[in-house]
Chains A and B, each alone.
Chain A
């Protein structure tokens, strides 16, 4: 596709369950970011992948959160034992090189609701 694709668009899950959120970046983009956007809040950085380098996980809020990027393309964000405070829109962005978010494109996000 032409843009960053995220799935599912919406996810409702019960507290305590695990969820997986998927991001398909733009083909050829080496950088991939995950952000979280809570109601009335700005984007909160979660994790950053750049090529084959070790990911920057400094934004992950707890050890219940993890992410991987297979083959330098698709990325999956996993939240284990979900809590109500995890409810938010999870946004993925990709960028073609080392020029950071000045060249990044965002997906439409996954709206996660934990009930």
Chain B
């Protein structure tokens, strides 16, 4: 079993839809949880990060962490074609280099 599991998709939604992206993990010591967006042929860019449990909102994006279920989510409201990318979750025990990434979910938002 991988330490971080993420459904690779692909996921296709119509413009304006609410998108839900998820990851599960097995290491209960993870404390930092991140979401990256990666456009084709580009490096990943950090969207949001959350420390420990709870929700965090930034514009159309909401990150949720449920440590009891070892489950994290990223919600995108009013999705746009420009949101089409691969979304990677990542997590670590501490704020350092030892970070584990999911395989990434490829999202397409159709106009």
A-to-B contact residues, CB < 8 Å: 4, 31, 33, 40-45, 48, 50, 56, 91, 93, 98-102, 104-109
A109, B88: Cα distance in complex, Å: 16
The number of residue pairs between A and B whose CB atoms lie closer than 8 Å in the complex comes to: 63
Known A91-B43, A93-B43: A45·B32 in contact at CB below 8 Å: no
Question: Of B32, B34, B90, B103, which contacts A41 at CB under 8 A?
Answer: B103
A50, B46: Cα distance in complex, Å: 20
Contacts of B32 in A (CB 8 A): 100, 102
User: What is the interface residue range for chain B against chain A?
Assistant: 20 to 34
Question: Which of A42, A45, A105: most chain B CB closer than 10 A?
Answer: A42
B-to-A contact residues, CB < 8 Å: 4, 6, 8, 32, 34, 41-46, 49, 88, 90, 92, 94-104
10 closest residue pairs by CB, A with B = A106-B43, A42-B101, A48-B97, A43-B101, A100-B95, A42-B103, A100-B96, A102-B49, A106-B44, A108-B43
Contacts of A44 in B (CB 8 A): 101
A114, B58: Cα distance in complex, Å: 41
Is B43 within 8 A of A101, CB to CB?
no
Contacts of B97 in A (CB 8 A): 31, 33, 45, 48, 50, 56, 100-101
Is B43 within 8 A of A102, CB to CB?
no
State the Cβ distance, B100 to closest chain A Cβ, in Å: 8
Is A101 within 8 A of B99, CB to CB?
yes
Is A42 within 8 A of B43, CB to CB?
no
A43, B38: Cα distance in complex, Å: 12
Known A91-B43, A102-B49: A43·B98 in contact at CB below 8 Å: no
Is B92 within 8 A of A107, CB to CB?
no
Known A42-B4, A45-B97, A45-B99: A101·B90 in contact at CB below 8 Å: yes
Question: Of A42, A102, A104, A109, which contacts B6 at CB under 8 A?
Answer: A42
